Structure 1
Amino acid sequence: MMQTDVAIVGAGPVGLFAAFECGMLKLTSVLIDSLPETGGQCAALYPEKPIYDIPAHPSIDGADLVAALERQIAPFAVPRLLERRVERLEGTRGAFSLYTDRGDVVQARAVVIAAGAGAFGPNRPPLAGIEAFEQTGAVQYFVRRREALRGASVVIAGGGDSAVDWALALAGIAERIYLVHRREKFRAAPESLARLATARERGSVEFVVPYQLRGLHGEAGVLEAVEVATLEGESRRLKADTLLAFFGLSTDLGPIAHWGLHSAMHHIQVTPSTCETSCAGVFAIGDVATYPGKLKLILQGFSEAAMAAHAIHPIARPETALHFEYSTSKGVPALQ
């Protein structure tokens, strides 16, 4: 049993910042996440992938962003319930109970859902015998350490941001990079596409288009080649040590989808000014939340975290008036 002012479901970057904003308002909080570590997709999938739109950071890797957010909330000693899934939500505004699959009961005055896209996993290509190569790491769906691919022959499959970004990030590290896509056109940021064109001209990345994955060749989980083919049946074998398959993520809100919250296209609808859902006292922020004009950016999620925390204050502290102060004036409450 645990009692707190705010239960934050999801410990990705936006959930971590929500804990900070609550702390700045002298509200206690607890972070609950199904993963074994904080950081959400940034930590689990893209720890070494650079992020370019965080204010004051021209570029920052996902793992470094999570580490900085952890340092930011350290003064508030926020408890974490990791490797837990919230199965049930009961109660009303000011008196909620959350029940996890590990038997925890969290009593909170308000709830913040910062679950991103929910539970996630990669969309796996339907290739015979792929499981053996997944177990040895010859087939991967994200890159945790670029250096592990130094000198390797890498096949990257996909046509979106992840495929393009990793082709660029591994140029100069991998010995050879094949970029496989079913058509000539890639779906990525214009600047990334311009850099990719330059890498292709320099020979850092070889385009294999229009091809699709057909098969894997090797023994005992050791990859030797990736077979690709066109729609007309023309095939090639690409010498490869590693296949990086980027075909997006399958996501699932899990039990949250059954909490009776108004939703649209698997996203929770909220009031833009407060991020409150259709259930009074329950808020949603980050990628899981939707409203007119919503941008799926981490920085927008940070703003939503601040708005939700201020909207929660009168719920958790109805007897105390909230006098807005800038952090430059009041500092960090826990350190005073």
Structure 2
Amino acid sequence: MAQTIATDIAIIGAGPAGLFAVFECGMLKMRCVVIDTLEAIGGQCSALYPEKPIFDIPAHPRIEAATLIHQLEAQAAPFSPTYLLARRVEALRADGESFILTTSAGDSITASAVIIAAGAGAFGPNRPPLDNLATYEASGGVRYMVAKRAEFVGKRVVIAGGGDSAVDWALSLKDVAARVTVVHRRDKFRASPETAAQLSAAAERGEIELAIPYQLHGLAGDGQRLTGVVLATLKGEEKLVEADHLLAFFGLSMELGPIADWGLALERHHVAITPATCETSVPGIYAVGDIASYPGKLKLILQGFSEAAMAAHAIHPRVFPGQALHFEYSTSKGVAA
């Protein structure tokens, strides 16, 4: 059912950065509406890898993506954000000192400021160019994410890719799968040095098989059930690896969607911002998280958290003009009611 809502801040995107922005804005007594195209909060953490372990969240040596989202939701809950899910912002226009956003569900949101925390826009997997790919995708033989590790217990798994997702899942699934084979075209991985070293050590112990330098060449099976993956070198040498599942981690295909038409300065499909305030080229519109771009930007969740805090403080004078903001630490201030 379409809604008409007036709020202080409209947050586009319910991933980690967007959820933490709710908390930071709430601590400054600013109300938030959060809009996301997915049916549940969490962004890629929920949609693509809910059971993936994350190792670079402060004070959490290891935390699963779904647990992180649950904790962020609980942290934001005292401020009673309104979530508008399964819809996207189709249009955004200025209306005096405010902005009006309309969604694909017919909602109309009036806000004093906008925070874009949309990750890298709409996303989908980059698919390998293999014959009969769609058939094996439909049967679950070929996948681009891991929702539940339990689905791979006792299975033969081939993982293709050389980035963090490929390496992290190889290390995670080696303890439950019957066999894990990692396919990469070269012996250098784009993952963090620590996890790449763990992968090499696991291979030396025989816990993981490395197929290097190979690339995906074909799929074997009866048209429904996957039974193997055909690999090939650049010289044309081929080999068949028996497999129940192929996990292809070649990154995501990103689209900014309507955001690209809002008159914001863009840099390679990302939104350019002023680092100190996270404000875009349009006053009153801010961007945080993976979608934001500036010199020295690191695509880390913790950087998105920092940007959410800076954006909230920069927005405060728009919501409360003329009101002095006396910054206090949450340890002494507590959670604002």
- Pairwise TM-score range, normalised by the shorter structure: over 0.9
Q: Partners in 1 of 2:119 and 2:320 — Cα distance?
A: 28
Alpha-carbon distance, 1:93 to partner: 6.5
Query: Which structure 1 residue ranges, 5 or more long, are not aligned?
Result: none
After superposition, give the CA deviation of every residue in 1:306-336 in whole Å (9 maximum; x if it has no partner): 11111111111114322212212221122xx
The residue number in structure 1 matching 2:189 is 186
Checking the alignment, whether the CA contact within 8 Å between 2:132 and 2:223 is kept in structure 1 is no
The residue number in structure 2 matching 1:100 is 103
The counterpart of 1:141, out of the listed 141, 144, 151, is 144
Q: 87-96 or 56-65, which moves further after superposition?
A: 87-96
Number of equivalent positions = 334
Alpha-carbon distance, 1:143 to partner: 0.6
> What percentage of residue pairs aligned between the two structures are identical?
62
Question: Structure 1 residue 327 and structure 2 residue 333: aligned?
Answer: no
> One-letter code of the match for 1:316?
V
After superposition, give the CA deviation of every residue in 1:73-126 in whole Å (9 maximum; x if it has no partner): 111111111111111110157310001111111110100001111110000011
Alpha-carbon distance, 1:27 to partner: 0.6
TM-score by length of 1: 0.97
Q: Partners in 2 of 1:124 and 1:181 — Cα distance?
A: 15
Question: Structure 1 residue 31 and structure 2 residue 44: aligned?
Answer: no
Q: Partners in 2 of 1:22 and 1:177 — Cα distance?
A: 44
The residue number in structure 2 matching 1:265 is 268
The residue number in structure 1 matching 2:81 is 78
The counterpart of 2:166, out of the listed 145, 163, 176, is 163
Q: 47-56 or 89-98, which moves further after superposition?
A: 89-98
Q: Partners in 2 of 1:38 and 1:25 — Cα distance?
A: 22
> One-letter code of the match for 2:64?
D
Secondary structure of 2:195's counterpart equals helix
After superposition, give the CA deviation of every residue in 1:177-217 in whole Å (9 maximum; x if it has no partner): 11111222222211112111111111111111211111111
Checking the alignment, whether the CA contact within 8 Å between 2:275 and 2:294 is kept in structure 1 is yes
The residue number in structure 2 matching 1:244 is 247
Secondary structure of 1:333's counterpart equals coil
RMSD, aligned α-carbons: 1.2
The counterpart of 1:282, out of the listed 279, 282, 285, is 285
> One-letter code of the match for 1:121?
G
The counterpart of 1:109, out of the listed 96, 99, 112, is 112
Question: Structure 1 residue 132 and structure 2 residue 135: aligned?
Answer: yes
Checking the alignment, whether the CA contact within 8 Å between 1:225 and 1:237 is kept in structure 2 is yes
Alpha-carbon distance, 1:267 to partner: 1.5
The residue number in structure 2 matching 1:118 is 121
The counterpart of 2:213, out of the listed 182, 207, 210, is 210
TM-score by length of 2: 0.96
**Deviation beyond 2 Å, 4+ runs, structure 1:** none
Question: Structure 1 residue 18 and structure 2 residue 21: aligned?
Answer: yes
The counterpart of 1:256, out of the listed 238, 256, 259, is 259
Q: Partners in 2 of 1:301 and 1:184 — Cα distance?
A: 31
